[in-house]
Amino acid sequence: MHRRTFVQALGASLASAVPDSRGKYSAFGQSSWNGTSGPLTSLPVSPTGRLTRIGLELYSVRDAMHRDPERTLAAVRAMGYSDVELLWSFGNFGRTTEQVRAALDREGLRAPSAHISPIILFIGWDRSLEIAHRLGHEYLIVPSFTSDTSRTLDDWREWADRFNTAGAAARRAGIWLAFHNEPDHMTPIDGTVPYDVFVARTDPAVVRLQLDVGNLVMGGGDPLVYLQRYRDRYWSFHLKDVVPDRSRDTELGTGTLDFRRLLAAVPDIDHKPCYVEQEGAADSLASARRNCEFLSKLEF
């Protein structure tokens, strides 16, 4: 099932978080951030044109995470991943903040960002920013909107305005709000690409973008063109390869994208989280391992 289906189904769930008697989200707990890594600005810079850190979007291994989050995170770290992107929109697979924090620390993993339900921008946003700090996030990222709130260009403009307001609050709290692209964001409405309308209306001082390169290709776009067009807007990436007919994703290096050229085009890439995401793998853990191996060897 595609992630957007979950976004629509879980839109009103507030990422499965329910305020407890202290006004906090009990689904994510109350633990403090005590990770072993510093912020992105302190990460090492590669002198050889290789990624210094490789992340995994946990949607790629969602079935394994549902079965056993801790064992799956251990397997992900053993593959060579250093970062993961959490899924608040999946309630962090039923784990509290204490459990998530403990598992990340035990494996030496960082979680620079999480995907969240768009509803959180309206309800509990300040509390969510506090939770983001506790989990060590620098970004909270909305992956998509529900179909009934993105039918018109005016819908997209209203979302952009809401992002500007919520993004300003996030910056005051030291967090960035960002938006991720899905394939249908490139489908024109009244002759205009809604994604372009959204990007043009959002304020780069308070809203950043996560570029899913595979989703852009599946939607009919060219990642290199968009990197040039919005060069200073993209601060996080989903690395996803696509089969020739653009119908689905595939393992990195087996599809149509030139990742060497693509990564070389990203300015200051060492300070921008890059996550593998393969949504439709037959064996998600095996594909995640091969994807990490591909990126760890890639020079650009």
Q: Tell me: the pLDDT tens digits for 69-88?
A: 999 999 999 999 999 999 99
Q: Which amino acid is at 4?
A: R
Q: How many CB atoms lie within 10 A of CB 111?
A: 26
Dist. CA 86–CA 66, nearest whole Å: 13
Reported as half-sphere exposure (CB side, CA atoms, 13 A), residue 48 has a value of: 7
Mean pLDDT of 211-235: 97
Residue whose tokens read 């459990």: 99
Q: How many residues does the chain have?
A: 300
Helix (H, G, I), strand (E, B) or coil at 2: coil
The confidence score (pLDDT) of residue 44 equals 56
Dist. CA 143–CA 240, nearest whole Å: 15
* pLDDT tens digits for range 272-300: 999 999 999 999 999 999 999 999 999 99
pLDDT at 11 over 80: no
Mean pLDDT of 24-49: 41
DSSP symbols for 171-226: HHTT-EEEEE--GGGGS-BTTB-HHHHHHHHS-TTTEEEEEEHHHHHHTT--HHHH
* pLDDT tens digits for range 140-178: 999 999 999 999 999 999 999 999 999 999 999 999 999
| Average pLDDT of every residue of the chain | 88
Token output for 51: 């990624």
What confidence category does residue 27 fall into, taking pLDDT thresholds of 50, 70 and 90? very low
Q: What percent of the chain has pLDDT over 90?
A: 83
The confidence score (pLDDT) of residue 42 equals 46
Dist. CA 260–CA 49, nearest whole Å: 9
Q: What is the CA radius of gyration of the chain?
A: 18
Of 31-35, 46-50, 174-178, minimum mean pLDDT range: 31-35
Q: Pick from 112, 65, 59: which is nearest to 87 by CA?
A: 59
Residues with Cβ within 8 Å of residue 58, at least 6 apart in sequence: 65, 84, 85, 86, 87, 93
Mean pLDDT of 226-244: 97
The confidence score (pLDDT) of residue 97 equals 87
